[in-house]
Structure 1
Amino acid sequence: MTRLSTPPTRTAASGTAVSFALCGEIARPASLTVADLRTRYPQRRADVIFDCATSGPRHHIFEGPLLREVAVAAGPAFDARRRKDRSRFLLAVSGGDGHRTVLSWAEIDADFGDVPILLAATMDGRSLASAGSQLVVPSDRCGARYVSAISRVWIGACPEC
């Protein structure tokens, strides 16, 4: 069960800023905090239920920008007009605990999967400023790709096989 909407504007809670690196084959590498995610990008809300291998079904409400909007703003090194050029790009997301996952650009691209994946700035109404942003994949039934305390988002082309 997933519902996405634009949440009401709220002021981010203050606290220790935790940042993550936005890097790879992009024109504008950056270090982003939860406050940056809240103030620089439109906010979306995802009401999700997913299965956790250790604690069973989990229900949370996350808010934050779409991963696609943050990634596009970074200026990925592909020709945006060419679908095949975009479809060869990947996004690798790393968490503070060493958890990592990989997404294809096609998953988040409006011409392909158009999956509304978030870089969450809040969870259940609480700011993630001191814990770090969380990757939220609302379409996933299991929570394995929900990466907590994001430390790095790498964007780049799939290597030749």
Structure 2
Amino acid sequence: MKPYIIPKLILSFLLICSFSRTFAQTTDAVKISGVLTKPYTLTSADLAKMPRVKVSRKDGDSTNYEYSGVLLSTVLAKGGVTLGKDLRRENLTKYVIIEAIDGYQVVFSLAELDADFTDEKIILADTVDNEPLLSTEGPFRIIVENDKRAARCIKQVTSIKIEFAK
């Protein structure tokens, strides 16, 4: 075997891995799954057709930004999640796990998202200041309107899953 073949194979492998990761980051869909009656995949086109909400929040640089998207409860309601008058008893033990492309996860109780329990706005955003989110933030990002820290404002959301606490 010629000595230059192995470095070319390694370079080819690295290029393929890099391309795969780049492709995954540009995917404009979020998998909605778990304890739902109608699990589905939400695309950018689907989100654009849903009722929009605007939320202002300061980010790490202390600049106020205006995000636009859809209430997370609305996204979940499309999948048939338990909300409103049915969110009681054992249904109050449900929680939502949101995951980003890099594996980062945040958790919300289902009651934190329900308008019958709170006026807090938690949205799945796709724009900031009337522009699409940057690729380093989107295409989807969770924005929590009044959290003091932005730790739950998860970027590059790829999945939203509803589970029961054990």
Q: TM-score, normalised by structure 1?
A: 0.77
Shift of 1:80: 4.8
Aligned to 2:44: 34
Contiguous gaps of at least 5 residues in structure 1:
1-15
- Pick from 76, 87, 90 the counterpart of residue 85 of structure 1: 90
Q: What are the residue-to-residue correspondences of 1:10-159 with 2, within 5 Å?
A: 18-39=28-49, 41-50=50-59, 52=60, 56-76=61-81, 80-128=85-133, 131-159=138-166
Shift of 1:97: 2.3
Residue 43 of structure 1 aligns to which amino acid in structure 2? R
More strand by share: 1
* Contact 2:84 2:114 (8 Å CA) reproduced: no
Cα 1:79/1:119, change in 2 over 3 Å: closer
Contiguous gaps of at least 5 residues in structure 2:
1-25
Shift of 1:17: 5.3
Residue 119 of structure 1 aligns to which amino acid in structure 2? L
Residue 106 of structure 2 aligns to which amino acid in structure 1? T
Cα 1:80/1:86, change in 2 over 3 Å: farther
* Contact 2:94 2:110 (8 Å CA) reproduced: yes
Distance 1:77 1:43 in 2: 21
By relative contact order (CA 8 Å, sep 6+), the higher-ranking structure is 1
| Identical amino acids, percent of aligned pairs | 27
Secondary structure of the 1:121 match is strand
Q: Which has the larger radius of gyration?
A: 2
More helix by share: 2
Q: Deviations over 1:79-115 (max 9, x none)?
A: 9535223321100000112221000011111222242
How many residue pairs align between the two structures? 139
Q: TM-score, normalised by structure 2?
A: 0.75
Calculate the aligned-residue CA RMSD, in Å: 2.2
Secondary structure of the 1:136 match is strand
